[in-house]
Structure 1
Amino acid sequence: MTIEKITQDHFDDALRCLQNMSLSKETIVFRGQQDTKWRLHTTWARFKSFEQESRSSDMVGLLDQFKTNLAKLGQMPFEENNHLDWLEYAQHHGVPTPYLDFTYSPYVALFFSFNGLEDIKEAESEEEYVVVYALNINQLAHHWAKASGEFDERVYQSFLSPSTHLFDEGFPGNTLQFIRQPGKSNARMQRQQGAFLYDTLDYHSLGFDDLEEYMDHIQESKPLDYNGTQAPPTLTKVFINKKCIREVFQILELMNITGTMLFLDSSGAAMDVRNTYYYKPKTMMLRGFD
């Protein structure tokens, strides 16, 4: 089955579409991206594609280098040596990792799709859209559980709920793995209702260019309690017209979904200042600052 693509030119329709997927019985996670030409790539995959022969691409080695640099600054965030916590921390500080960020909230995904947009043109065109990815984790897990032939229930459950010791011995290659929740130290992703997809698949050996093409060839299965005529897709791409930007930020502000609250730092506060170019906020000014 091909990836389902939905185009929405009106905010109410886009919001209803995303809410319906979010409230379904399936486990759906979302990812917002501004440029519709961007593909689902981990920073690790991009890093390895430009790797020089003399440079190590070992993830443990990169994390050790990152820790060494932090130690020089006296900024070690953890006492423990938990690989999973370090992977999340390193990713959010720009270290290439095999992680893709997702969120359970379509509203958070909307924020990331529209945050920081510039030069919205008056004339509508094919380029005037952002995209929200909706990934059906149940379908991806079902496919992964059949990778070796017959469906394996243990593999299915392990994909959905991995062991806390998954990365104790390092970072497995040629693997897809859903990480349901961020670590206890990852306040930012907790606030963003985040989840992760760990991806170290060797797409070249599988005959695919990337994760999206891989998903595009998945043969979906109908859930036992599903009443539709066709199985739900593994991946849905919802294209939303950029002209919805004012309505998007007006609604998100009333939900307290802003850069300030999602990032909990000065960079998020600055995002909100830039985004007010497109709408007039109601709640951001405090008494004594107006």
Structure 2
Amino acid sequence: MTTQSDIVARDWLHLQELLFRDSYDAQIERFRSSYVYRGLSDRSYELLTSLIRLGSASAILERHLLRNFRKYARRNDVPGDSVWNWLAVAQHHGLPTRLLDWTYSPYVALHFATANLMKFDIDGV
């Protein structure tokens, strides 16, 4: 179901026009969106982290998950010893974290919005 604020592309070419309208940055000589994208397979999803979706006691759970991840991860794969760097690498490998992934690339967001074939008939964002 569309709302009054929805913008619906007619086809692939129209989608490209909508995504990249007014986004060329002459300084870097490329298109750079002024928007960030999330890429969710269902428009009804809330912006919740994978850790929060697991339920209560997320701070305690995160501490244990990250400790175990650090124990078995290759230290050379993580630049520096910042907890933020560890969280980013852990999330990349599928660990539930307090981080949300965002991208400037509409194509990356489209990938994640359409990756689940079981949701082909649900509007994503």
Superposition TM-score tier, normalisation by shorter sequence: 0.5 to 0.7
Distance change >3 Å, CA 97–CA 14, structure 1 → 2: same
Q: How far apart are 1:83 and its partner, in Å?
A: 1.5
Alpha-carbon separation, structure 1, partners of 2:105 and 2:64: 34
Which structure features the higher share of strand residues? 1
- 1:99 alignment partner, SS class: coil
Match of 2:29 in 1: none
Q: Give the AA of the match of 1:31.
A: R
Alpha-carbon separation, structure 2, partners of 1:91 and 1:119: 23
Q: Give the AA of the match of 2:60.
A: S
* Alignment RMSD: 3.2
Q: How far apart are 1:7 and its partner, in Å?
A: 2.7
Alpha-carbon separation, structure 2, partners of 1:33 and 1:40: 9
- 2:60 alignment partner, SS class: coil
Match of 1:62 in 2: 65
Alpha-carbon separation, structure 2, partners of 1:119 and 1:109: 15
Match of 1:131 in 2: 124
* Pairing partner for 1:43 from 43, 50, 55: 50
TM-score, length of structure 2 as denominator length? 0.66
Q: How far apart are 1:12 and its partner, in Å?
A: 2.4
Q: How far apart are 1:106 and its partner, in Å?
A: 1.2
Which residues of 2 match residues 151-166 of structure 1 at below 5 A? none
Q: Deviations for 1:47-69, whole angstroms, at most 9, x for unmatched residues?
A: 3xx226xx85264453223212x
Runs (5+) with no aligned partner, structure 1: 121-127, 133-290
Among the aligned pairs, what percent are the same residue?
31
Answering whether residue 19 of structure 2 is matched by residue 18 of structure 1, we say yes
Of structures 1 and 2, the larger Rg is shown by 1
Which residues of 2 match residues 163-202 of structure 1 at below 5 A? none
Distance change >3 Å, CA 111–CA 78, structure 1 → 2: closer
Q: Give the AA of the match of 2:20.
A: Q
Alpha-carbon separation, structure 2, partners of 1:56 and 1:81: 19
Alpha-carbon separation, structure 1, partners of 2:80 and 2:115: 34
Answering whether residue 87 of structure 2 is matched by residue 87 of structure 1, we say yes
Q: How far apart are 1:90 and its partner, in Å?
A: 0.9
Answering whether residue 41 of structure 2 is matched by residue 34 of structure 1, we say yes
Alpha-carbon separation, structure 2, partners of 1:56 and 1:33: 24
Q: Deviations for 1:123-182, whole angstroms, at most 9, x for unmatched residues?
A: xxxxx35333xxxxxxxxxxxxxxxxxxxxxxxxxxxxxxxxxxxxxxxxxxxxxxxxxx
Q: How far apart are 1:89 and its partner, in Å?
A: 0.6
Q: How far apart are 1:104 and its partner, in Å?
A: 1.0
Alpha-carbon separation, structure 1, partners of 2:90 and 2:14: 37
Q: Deviations for 1:232-255, whole angstroms, at most 9, x for unmatched residues?
A: xxxxxxxxxxxxxxxxxxxxxxxx
TM-score, length of structure 1 as denominator length? 0.33
In the alignment, is the contact (CA less than 8 A) between 2:114 and 2:124 conserved in 1? no
Alpha-carbon separation, structure 1, partners of 2:122 and 2:61: 37
Q: Structure with the greater relative contact order (CA < 8 A, sep ≥ 6): 1 or 2?
A: 2
- 1:30 alignment partner, SS class: coil
Match of 2:30 in 1: none
Distance change >3 Å, CA 106–CA 119, structure 1 → 2: closer
In the alignment, is the contact (CA less than 8 A) between 2:41 and 2:114 conserved in 1? yes
In the alignment, is the contact (CA less than 8 A) between 1:34 and 1:117 conserved in 2? no
Q: How far apart are 1:43 and its partner, in Å?
A: 1.0
